Amino acid sequence: MLQNGARQRGARANDMIRLSIPVRQALARLTLPVLIAASFVLLLVGKADTVLTERARMALADALAPLYGVLAAPLGNLRAGVEEVGGLFELRSENARLRAENERLRQWQSVALALEAENAALKANLHWIPDPAVNYVTARVVADAGGVYARAVLLSTGPHARIAKGQIALDDRGLVGRVTERGTRSARVLLITDINSRIPVRLERSRGQAILVGTNGPRPRLMYWTEGQAPQDGERVVTSGEANAFPSGLPVGTVRISEQGAVEVEPAARLDRLQIVRIFDYGGHGIVPPEGVVPRPQGMDRHR
């Protein structure tokens, strides 16, 4: 009796399975084409709705940033240790180079002190209005956020850090880039070397304007300089206040003319080994993020 029941149950189960095999096979064969179609939809949606994409990315970045932030310090120490071992072999030559550089910097220091005193005296005579002090926050770089075809870094920020899009990132030597996306605990900074980066700059010697164009390579290019004021090799490049996106005078780098004759800029910031950056709020509103441009209803203008 018991065996009989078990056999019946088994047969029923077999029947169900036999019925569902073709269905299951058809479903299995359909899944891949359907998902490939879905990925095309994803491509289109990602292009059309950038806000949604950004929110999804930053949600993931917010979840990972604290974790990577914890990992960043020991990993940085490990890397520094490895570099230290490599540096042991060239201690002598490095020492000689540093002595020579120190001599040169001592001379520059005395020049700088004299110029600073002179500058202060001139400003006092002119009743110069000093520039307002600028707010900044310091954040740790926790990950590369560029992928294959972009140059960007992810910062781990506290939940209460007042970071907004368009704020300017600098390391201890010069301009790094601008904040393009921010979450609650993380922010993404687009580097000046990214192919989408365009920065108005000024050549310090000739005071001519130009645009610094990223190429995804280590050295961005200079374009659109003033006619007759071609950039010269070794000239310093600083930001220009043009378009109110950047304050004037932040150090960007030095001009290098490549062997092919391309006019490039060697960035002052150490973009390949960023660890800590400062995010400055200069209050520039020259460039509005895309979602800030809300189309105004047609009727509003007419009633004015």
How is residue 302 written in tokens?
A: 């007419």
Nearest approach in angstroms of CB 61 to other proteins is 8
For other proteins, the binding residue among 21, 42, 105, 112 (CB under 8 A) is 42
Partners of 139 in beta bridges? 277
Q: Dihedral of CA 43/45/48/50: which sign?
A: negative
Give the 3-state DSSP-derived string for 66-124, with helices as H, strands as E and coil as C. Answer: HHHHHHHHHHHHHHHHHHHHHHHCCHHHHHHHHHHHHHHHHHHHHHHHHHHHHHHHHHH
Which amino acid type is present at position 241?
A: G
User: Does the protein bind other proteins through residue 221 (CB under 8 A)?
Assistant: no
CB of residue 223 to other proteins, shortest distance in Å: 15
Q: Which residue in 195, 121, 187, 110 sits closest to 154, CA to CA?
A: 187
- Identify the H or E element spanning 175: strand 175-182
Taking CB under 8 A as the rule, which mask of x and - marks residues 239-278 in contact with other proteins? ---------------------------------xx-----
Among residues 150, 179, 199, 268, which is the contact residue for other proteins, using CB under 8 A?
150
φ, ψ for residue 191 (rounded to 5)?
-75, 160
Does 234 bind other proteins (CB under 8 A)? Our answer is no
Contact stretch for other proteins (CB under 8 A) within 36-44, 114-122, 247-255, 276-284: 36-44
Instruction: Spell out, one character per residue from 52 to 81, where the chain touches other proteins: x when CB under 8 A holds, - when not.
Output: -x--xx--x---x---x--xx--xx--x--
**Quick check: 45 binds other proteins (CB under 8 A)?**
yes
Binding site for other proteins (CB under 8 A): 14, 31-32, 35-36, 38-47, 53, 56-57, 60, 64, 68, 71-72, 75-76, 79, 141-150, 152, 188, 195-196, 215-217, 272-273
